[in-house]
Amino acid sequence: MRILVLVVNRMVWFVPTLLGLLAIVFFISHVIPADPAAFAAGENASAATIAEMRQRLGLDQPLHIQFLRYVQSIFTGDMGRSIYTGRPVSEDLLSRLPATLELTLVTVVVATLVGVPLGVVAALKRNSWIDHALRLVTIAGLAIASFWFAILLQLFFSMQLGITPLTGRVEGWGPEPITGFYVIDSLINWDMETLLDAFHHMVLPVATLALPAAATIVRFTRAGVLNALESSYVLYETAMGYPRWQIVWKYVLRNALIGTVTQIGLIFGILLAGAVVVEAVFDWPGLGLFAVNSILNSDYNAVMGFTLVAGTMFIVVNLVVDILQGLIDPRETR
């Protein structure tokens, strides 16, 4: 019952949150000194042609009227057409969504598998050289700019050593499209060569995104484990003579990972935003690269569509995190 109340409370704020996000992005994008009508009309278009195109796109209307019309079209399922591709924005986003989700999900899995154990080790070895070394690595991981780290990885592993691909998702056309996720499609088609190639192309983008994500998970896991180790029930179990590994595995981790689970959900949303820069560097054909091209071409409909999809995914992921947090610790749903 408490979980149901939690879901209802979150859903009540779903539409207002998205409307506020869309309003902010809409007005910011429209005050930028760029004319999408001139881009759509062509490089050598006359002033009359540009004015006609501006009227056709509805850009001659006041901003609040344009925004209200856009919101109205969203509720009818129409995101408009992309000036950059000439296709419906919904089709462009749907075709690129699997690439971004695949990259993000693999990054979250890698960051979690690396960050949680290292966070536990750092807490159990508190103030040792291992703990100090992990602190240094996590601080560096959070401080390094993703685009700079991505370029360094390309220069060293791709251009100097030649052991990883420089850009792209796979060599060639990829597996037969079924879900749009190359890993899943390769497994369905039992195409092991393409599967290995897909993982090979993901090495550098995943490493770029996983570094700050894993650093965050390490820090929150360490803090959670330290807090749990100082609790009364752990002191009691220790006094009873239970093995340390059993105390950590059965009692400490469940309570220590509550904050980590929340952070993993937030990291997922952050990765969606961070993927914009990383996808542009690695020419990864996902939502991020599409958003960059749309921004450069002042493609308002595409930018708004990306904002809507990214905002929806972020809200849904955080709802799932809240539910999981409530299942792990029922006190969180009170």
Domain boundaries, the chain: 2-75, 96-296
* The pLDDT of residue 39: 64
* Cα 195 to Cα 128: distance, rounded to the nearest angstrom: 41
Is the pTM higher than 0.95? The answer reads no
* The pLDDT of residue 312: 81
What is the CATH number that goes with domain 96-296?
Answer: 1.10.3720.10
Question: How many Cβ atoms sit within 10 Å of the Cβ of residue 88?
Answer: 16
- Is residue 242 within 8 Å of 165, Cβ to Cβ? no
Q: Residue-wise pLDDT tens for the chain (334 aa)?
A: 666 776 777 777 777 887 887 788 777 766 666 666 666 666 677 777 777 777 777 777 777 787 888 788 888 878 888 877 878 888 898 888 899 989 999 999 999 999 989 988 888 888 888 889 998 989 988 888 888 899 999 999 999 988 999 888 888 787 888 888 888 988 998 888 889 999 999 999 999 999 989 998 998 888 888 887 777 777 766 666 667 666 777 667 777 777 777 778 778 877 876 678 888 899 898 888 888 888 887 787 888 888 888 888 877 877 777 777 766 665 554 4
Closest C-alpha among 119, 143, 144, 117 to residue 131: 119
Total length of the chain: 334
Closest C-alpha among 3, 2, 1 to residue 321: 3
Three-state secondary structure call for residue 88: strand
Q: Hey, which residues does 81 pair with through a beta bridge?
A: 88
φ and ψ at 81, to 5 degrees?
-105, 145
Closest C-alpha among 214, 210, 207 to residue 122: 214
- Residues in Cβ contact with 223 at an 8 Å cutoff, skipping those fewer than 6 apart: 123, 259
* The pLDDT of residue 41: 66
Closest C-alpha among 206, 318, 209, 202 to residue 274: 209
Closest C-alpha among 159, 152, 166, 168 to residue 283: 168
* The pLDDT of residue 103: 92
Task: State the Cα angle at 115 between 112 and 120, rounded to 5°.
Answer: 120
